[in-house]
Structure 1
Amino acid sequence: MDIELIEIRDFLKQHHPFDLLPDEALEGLPKSIEVRYARRGTVLFEPGEENKFLWVVRTGAIETRDPENNLLARLSEGECFGVRAIMRGVAVNRCEAIEDSLLYLLPVDDFNRLRDNFQQFAFFFAPLGGERLRSARALDKSGSADDLGLITTKVRDLLRRQGPVVCKPTVSIQEAATVMSNEKVSCILVTEDDKIVGIATDKDLRNRVVAKGYDISRPLFEIMTKDPVCIDAESYLFDAMLLMSQKNIRHLPVLDGGQAAGVITNTNIVQKQSTSMVFLVGDVYKRQSIEGLKEVVKQVPNMVMNLVSGGATAHNVGHVVSTVTDAIARRLLQMAEEKLGAPPVPYAWIVVGSEARHEQTALSDQDNGIILDDSYDEAKHGDYFKELAKFVCDGLNECGYIYCPGDVMATNDKWRQPLSQWKKYFSKWIDTPEPEALMLSSVFFDMRALHGDESLYENLRKYVVEKSSGNRIFLSFMAGNALTHQPPLGFFKNFVLIRGGDHNHTFDLKHTGVVPIIDLARTYSLDAGLFEINTQDRLKAAVEKKVISQAGANDLLDALEFISITRLRHQARQIRRREKVDNFMPPDDMSHFERNHLKDAFNVVKTMQAALASAYT
């Protein structure tokens, strides 16, 4: 092979996706390639013209514009173009050299042969943007974590019987015990008018009947557990496990459409999954001190690392990590109430931000507040809730959930207010959308009740949704605020990196990666009057309300997952190397696969931001 052909081969081998090809495929490729020089200003093809090549930029720069002369892309060394023209048969855009350029032209027959013979090469040239991201995610999934069963399996999947074992509350204890024995079950549901009114377990029979010599001819309702905690059949096993740990119960009735569907037990869950994640969350409610809770939280980074390396989605990891945080906060609230006594008036402890959205990663601070009943009297009740907030926020900080840098915490008097005052806050933010109001809106519109009287939160949530839904002036400001977070992608589809400081030559996968998508989903949610909080749930619900197209939502969902899992892998690598966890990604730490598809994800976000600007601003 002469020197020129060797130079072409070596160049291709250094650039994606040619680096995915085996050596034998690369060896013969240079002979098929045509080398062309284009001076600045040369038009390579126009809309409607036939294109017979895949073009690769060796040196120089190429600009692509649509028929309306809108700039679509600027391409530099190692990048390919002309793919859409090959797929469609004719060009749909205009390509022009904006610098003196040296180009490699691969004939369409050779291009198609490589796509047919090498799947990894074909994946790269699948339809661009969101569709290529979907291909990338499918190709990228590998393995399965043992913990995944809990966060992907529905409760209904564990219901093995054709129907629940039930009886009326008036049957005798002996009759109920006979049914349990014949059916070989450890509990029986007690129903009345198709509603669950109680449950009796083998433990109840031992402790409340046999041990006390209770008359077994007496009606069952006298010894049953009344109004038991239930779970919906569509919930995940992880939620069931958490609920059983919280309530310290071994049997959990399941509802389907409000009616009894069966019972799952702790044995069912352990048989399905007996991994560290189960015991980690269950262990939270057994701890009696903050020191004990700290020991549990120390295990979270390894849990994240194992989930990521095992193939969990970012959506599932966020759900798991946030649920652990929820459990820690709930246990601290229980401990605070044990120390201070029962609350003097009803209250709801709220969480905001990533925890509220179930999107936490291995690096999280705390964001919270308290909604108080309007019967609250500062003089009479203020000290109690001030002490409760201090105990919980200090405890979270000791456990590793650091104090919020913006002081969005229940210890701040401003965020510990009666329901009526919270309504005034939101009313002012919506009616007078100044910069600070928009910042606070972005925080507090992602809110979830964690503990206490949830009706206070529901009341506030309903008020906010009704006031903001369809409010075009407010939505215009929210959309403008959402556009302040831009993906780190330059004109040449190169990464725009931080220069200088502690994070030199990196980009921020949180504020310029996932936050732009979160902002988009929040704006759509407010417009449609949605109650969903999780970003993925918001985008899916927004499609049903027709405030975003199905294709646009799919592209954003895939971009969100790819950016988020790249961020989690970065954090997992830092955990493995025992480094401080952050969100700043050095491009050199990524593979060609990650770099190219991350650019696709960022490009999707930029496209959807442009659509948002057109629709709302």
Structure 2
Amino acid sequence: METYESIREWKELNITNFLDDIVSLNDFHDQVMLKVLEVASKKMEIGSAPCDFSWFITGSGGRLEQGLISDQDHGVIYEKSNAVNDLYFQVFGAEISKGLYEVGYPYCEGKVMSSNPMWCKSFDNWRAQLQEWVKDESWETIRYLQIFYDARVLHGEGEFMHQLKSFIYEYQLQHPILLSRFSANVEHVKNVIGPVGQLLVERHGLYHGCVNLKYSGFLPYVNAIRLLSIKEGVMETSTLARMNNLIKMQKYRSLLKYSDRNFVDLLTYRLTLSQVDSYSDTHYLHIEELNKNEQKDIKRIIKGGIKLHREVIVMMKKGGHNGI
């Protein structure tokens, strides 16, 4: 029987075989997490799952954009709430989080994990929570909605997730103000391009001389494309799959002309050039170690993301469904 320790050893032995291909790397992460889920299920002393459930991952895992090291972002949707089911999935969620940690996935600082009751609920309770989130005007609940929209079912019933995401889409059709709240939540971008076109690096600390690719590179693309996907009801979770769906629509072809190529290049740079010893390391790129062509390429990618992000935010401020 597999254990968390044996899964960790297998993961560490094999993961470096996938560092030249983001798709294969994320498929490998999926395999590891499913192995953890299987062991967690067998460790449950109160029996097997008492009802149908979905286990989903979100964040970079949900979007199929994980690097070498990734933290935990996951949750559970189970069929029906009652005393037996609630207790089972409370214990199961905690075991999953513990197992992932032991295999090498750090705990999520924001507690987006199955061990947190906020992210482990019955279908009806999830729907009630989403109804609260779409009406609440706080920054935090809008962030939660975006995290949920990036969720991808890794095990179990996919229809639960589809229905819940459809609720978000249908709600924003009737209440366009929700799109404005989404855009306000992600409006600001970390600009690392100086006034004369130079890359602005971190000046102090552990990442001195580095550019934060997460905030300056990835998030402008990820957030802009998620906004358009919510607006159009695109249910795919990966940024590239969302782009491919959106670019089929005539109104977005010009806007997204180079975005898919830029984003693929960005994923490749992170995999091949980042020096990674911890989860935080995956977000940084040491600029002085790049040649001139690579630095020029990074600036092109970052500028493209900022331009895309700016244009999408402007569109949303014009009224979302009236903007384009």
- TM-score strictly above 0.5: yes
Measured after TM superposition, the shift of residue 300 of structure 1 is: 4.5
Q: Give distance in 1, aligned partners of 2:146 and 2:279.
A: 31
1:53-95: CA deviations, max 9, x gaps?
Answer: xxxxxxxxxxxxxxxxxxxxxxxxxxxxxxxxxxxxxxxxxxx
1:479 paired with 2:183, answer yes
In the alignment, what sits opposite 1:64? none
In the alignment, what sits opposite 1:596? 296
Residues 550-589 of structure 1 aligned to structure 2 (within 5 Å): 550-571=253-274, 573-574=275-276, 581-589=281-289
Q: Give distance in 2, aligned partners of 1:470 and 1:476.
A: 13
1:268-324: CA deviations, max 9, x gaps?
Answer: xxxxxxxxxxxxxxxxxxx6211210111103442244x2xxxxxxxxx33222222
Counterpart of 1:485 in structure 2: which amino acid? Answer: V
Mapped contact 1:470–1:526 kept (Cα < 8 A) = no
Q: Give distance in 2, aligned partners of 1:583 and 1:589.
A: 16
Specify whether residues 567 and 603 from structure 1 end up closer, same or farther in structure 2 by C-alpha distance, changes over 3 A only: same
| Number of residue-to-residue matches in the alignment | 315
1:361 paired with 2:67, answer yes
Mapped contact 1:349–1:452 kept (Cα < 8 A) = yes
In the alignment, what sits opposite 2:33? 329
| Secondary structure of 2:282 counterpart | coil
Q: Give distance in 1, aligned partners of 2:190 and 2:219.
A: 9
| Secondary structure of 1:298 counterpart | helix
Q: Give distance in 1, aligned partners of 2:260 and 2:31.
A: 28
In the alignment, what sits opposite 1:182? none
In the alignment, what sits opposite 2:320? none
Mapped contact 2:72–2:105 kept (Cα < 8 A) = yes
Specify whether residues 428 and 383 from structure 1 end up closer, same or farther in structure 2 by C-alpha distance, changes over 3 A only: closer
Q: Give distance in 2, aligned partners of 1:615 and 1:383.
A: 45
| Secondary structure of 1:494 counterpart | coil
Specify whether residues 427 and 485 from structure 1 end up closer, same or farther in structure 2 by C-alpha distance, changes over 3 A only: farther
Q: Give distance in 1, aligned partners of 2:116 and 2:203.
A: 35
1:290 paired with 2:42, answer no
Counterpart of 1:467 in structure 2: which amino acid? Answer: Y
In the alignment, what sits opposite 1:616? 316
Q: Percent identity?
A: 21
| Secondary structure of 1:421 counterpart | helix
Specify whether residues 443 and 594 from structure 1 end up closer, same or farther in structure 2 by C-alpha distance, changes over 3 A only: same
Mapped contact 2:262–2:301 kept (Cα < 8 A) = yes
Q: Give distance in 1, aligned partners of 2:125 and 2:86.
A: 15
Measured after TM superposition, the shift of residue 574 of structure 1 is: 4.7
In the alignment, what sits opposite 2:89? 385
1:346 paired with 2:52, answer yes
Structure 1, 585-594 or 426-435: larger mean CA deviation: 426-435
Specify whether residues 483 and 323 from structure 1 end up closer, same or farther in structure 2 by C-alpha distance, changes over 3 A only: same
More strand by share: 1
1:406 paired with 2:126, answer no
More helix by share: 2
Mapped contact 2:189–2:306 kept (Cα < 8 A) = no
Counterpart of 2:264 in structure 1: which amino acid? Answer: E
Q: Give distance in 2, aligned partners of 1:520 and 1:579.
A: 24
Mapped contact 1:487–1:516 kept (Cα < 8 A) = no
| Secondary structure of 2:77 counterpart | strand
Measured after TM superposition, the shift of residue 333 of structure 1 is: 2.2
Question: 5+ residue gaps in structure 1?
Answer: 1-286, 308-316
1:495 paired with 2:195, answer no
TM-score by length of 1: 0.48
1:74-121: CA deviations, max 9, x gaps?
Answer: xxxxxxxxxxxxxxxxxxxxxxxxxxxxxxxxxxxxxxxxxxxxxxxx
Counterpart of 1:602 in structure 2: which amino acid? Answer: I
Mapped contact 1:487–1:605 kept (Cα < 8 A) = no
Residues 27-426 of structure 1 aligned to structure 2 (within 5 Å): 288-305=2-19, 307=20, 317-340=21-44, 341-374=47-80, 376-377=81-82, 379-426=83-130
Q: Give distance in 2, aligned partners of 1:554 and 1:546.
A: 11
In the alignment, what sits opposite 1:519? 223
Q: Give distance in 1, aligned partners of 2:75 and 2:276.
A: 31
Q: Give distance in 1, aligned partners of 2:106 and 2:11.
A: 13
TM-score by length of 2: 0.89
Structure 1, 397-406 or 470-479: larger mean CA deviation: 470-479
1:547-574: CA deviations, max 9, x gaps?
Answer: 52x2321321122122222211223x55
Q: Give distance in 1, aligned partners of 2:258 and 2:302.
A: 11
Larger RCO (alpha carbons 8 Å, 6+ apart): 2
Mapped contact 1:528–1:545 kept (Cα < 8 A) = no
| Secondary structure of 1:360 counterpart | coil
Counterpart of 2:196 in structure 1: which amino acid? Answer: F
Specify whether residues 580 and 603 from structure 1 end up closer, same or farther in structure 2 by C-alpha distance, changes over 3 A only: closer
In the alignment, what sits opposite 1:533? 237
Specify whether residues 327 and 481 from structure 1 end up closer, same or farther in structure 2 by C-alpha distance, changes over 3 A only: same
Mapped contact 2:183–2:316 kept (Cα < 8 A) = yes
In the alignment, what sits opposite 1:543? 247
Q: Give distance in 2, aligned partners of 1:580 and 1:373.
A: 36
Mapped contact 1:329–1:392 kept (Cα < 8 A) = no
Q: Give distance in 1, aligned partners of 2:241 and 2:171.
A: 21
| Secondary structure of 2:98 counterpart | helix
| Secondary structure of 1:438 counterpart | helix
